[in-house]
Amino acid sequence: MKKSHRVRMALIALGVSALAACTTVPPVAAPVFDARAAVTAIRAAGDVASSELDVKPIRDPQVEDLREDAERLEKAGQYDQAAASLDHALQINPDDPALLQERAEAALLTTDLDTAERLAKQAIDRGSKVGPLCRRHWETIAQVRQARPTPIDVPGAGVADARRERDACTVAAPVRY
């Protein structure tokens, strides 16, 4: 009876291990992208310190009206319509880095990460490499990279890289007499 008891115990152990092998681990959920929080972080990165140089160009009144429409629509949660208003403004002034940045933020609100990153990069190419707007461009890229399900494995293409570029945009105002 000892031998049959050992065989039975061995069969039970084999059955338990077979069942354990069949169990599945629930998939790890991808982090949920909070577009509103991302845009809030981007805009906070562009806050102007009192000792910082911030040059603002004169704006076209027609473009300014479209910007105001987009802002109103965004506040109402109508992100697609806000993006459309900014697209119209970009038809009038396609090289305005601030306008490109606003459209990048609208793209984030519609969770269009690729468009947001593309527009932020265009804004960097066309705009100043220093100041609050520069920080917003780079924070947009950081937010996009952070939101992607799989990080890009390219040197210089990480979230930390974008944040280093963002921080390098801060320049003190010149000394005034």
Residue 125 lies in a domain: yes
Residue 14 lies in a domain: no
Residue 71 in tokens: 């802002």
- Displacement of CA 165 from its chain's centroid (Å): 15
Residue 37 lies in a domain: no
Sign of CA dihedral 104, 96, 46, 86: negative
Residue 173 in tokens: 């105002």
Mean pLDDT of 82-107: 97
Is pLDDT larger for residue 84 or for residue 9?
84
Residue 154 lies in a domain: yes
Q: Which domain holds residue 69?
A: 43-168
Could you tell me the pLDDT band of residue 58, with boundaries at 50, 70 and 90? Answer: confident
Residue 52 lies in a domain: yes
Q: What is the pLDDT of residue 104?
A: 98
Three-state DSSP state, 52: strand
Q: What is the pLDDT of residue 59?
A: 83
Domain tally for the chain? 1
Q: What is the pLDDT of residue 14?
A: 60
Residue 1, amino acid: M
Residue 171, amino acid: V
Q: Could you give the CA distance from residue 165 to residue 177 in angstroms, rounded to a whole number?
A: 31
Residue 2 lies in a domain: no
> In this predicted model, what pLDDT tens digit does every residue of 124-136 receive, in sequence order?
999 989 999 999 9
Residue 134 lies in a domain: yes
Q: What is the pLDDT of residue 56?
A: 72
Q: Map tokens 């910007």 to a residue.
A: 67
C-alpha separations of 52 from 55, 84, 140 in Å: 10, 33, 21
Three-state DSSP state, 91: helix
Q: What is the pLDDT of residue 93?
A: 95
Q: Map tokens 């990279």 to a residue.
A: 145
Mean pLDDT of 140-145: 96
Residue 149 lies in a domain: yes
Could you tell me the pLDDT band of residue 33, with boundaries at 50, 70 and 90? Answer: confident
**CATH number where 125 lies:** 1.25.40.10
